[in-house]
Amino acid sequence: DGGITQSPKYLFRKEGQNVTLSCEQNLNHDAMYWYRQDPGQGLRLIYYSQIVNDFQKGDIAEGYSVSREKKESFPLTVTSAQKNPTAFYLCASRAWDPDTQYFGPGTRLTVL
Amino acid sequence: SQKIEQNSEALNIQEGKTATLTCNYTNYSPAYLQWYRQDPGRGPVFLLLIRENEKEKRKERLKVTFDTTLKQSLFHITASQPADSATYLCAFSGGYNKLIFGAGTRLAVHP
C-alpha cells in the first residue's frame, strides 16, 4: 500500500519528557509537513521540509524539533519546552499536480 | 494576516437533501482552494481542488464553486447520505510552501 504511516497512534508523555513521533511515506514526495490540530481550530503548521536535509519553521515551531535525513522519513520531537503539547498531530506529504496533501492517520499525544 | 473561515456550527440535514458548506477568506487572493474530508480521529482526505479561473468543479455528488469577488467557496453534497457525515475542511495555498486550513464544518446527515 502506498501512503503515509504515523506511529504510535496514541502516546502518553510525562511532564518534562521529550517524545518523538514517527512519520514515514512511500509516495516519493519531496515535501513533508507536520501539523497540530486542537478542538475547534484549523490545522496549524509546525514544521515543513521541501527536500532532504532541509526544513523550515512553520507558524508554531516553538518547543518542537524535526530532522529530514531521508526522503521517506520526517520525525517530530516534542520537547519539554512545549508548554501545551496535548493535541492531535498530523503528518502530510505533498504532491504537485494537482497540488494536494496526503495525510497520515495521526498521533494523539496526551501529557499526564 | 491571511485568514480562512468556515461555519463553526455543525450542519444537520436529512438524508437525500443537498448539504452546502461555506468557506470565506480574507487578506489574500489564492490561486486555488482545496476541500478535504476528515473523519473523527483520522487524517484529512483530499476531495477537490478548484482554481481561480474555474467557477465550478464537480466530482460525482460533490460540487465546489469559487467566487473570487465574494472571496468565497461553496461546497455542495447532493443526495446526501449518512456516510457523508464528517468534518469538511477548506484550505488555500498561503504561499509557495504551505496551505492555510480552516477549522472545518461538521456535517451530520440523519436518516
The predicted structure's pLDDT at residue B99: 87
Say yes or no: B47 contacts chain A, CB-CB below 8 A: no
Q: What are the residue boundaries of the structural domains of chain B, listed by start?
A: 3-110
Sort A49 into a burial class: Cβ within 10 Å, 0-12 / 13-18 / 19+. Answer: buried
Region A44-62: what's the mean pLDDT? 95
Say yes or no: A99 contacts chain B, CB-CB below 8 A: yes
The predicted structure's pLDDT at residue A96: 81
B58 membership: H or E segment, kind and range: strand B56-59
Considering A52-66, B17-31, B94-108, the range whose residues carry the highest mean pLDDT is: A52-66
- Taking only the tens place, the pLDDT of each residue in B38-90 is 999 999 999 999 998 898 999 999 999 999 899 999 999 999 999 999 999 99
Return the residue in B36, B87, B93, B97 with the most chain A beta carbons within 10 A, the one to mutate for interface testing.
Answer: B97
Say yes or no: B103 contacts chain A, CB-CB below 8 A: yes
Three cell numbers written together for B56: 465550478
Q: What is the CATH number of domain B3-110?
A: 2.60.40.10
Residue pair A70/A49 in contact (Cβ under 8 Å)? The answer is no
The predicted structure's pLDDT at residue B14: 97
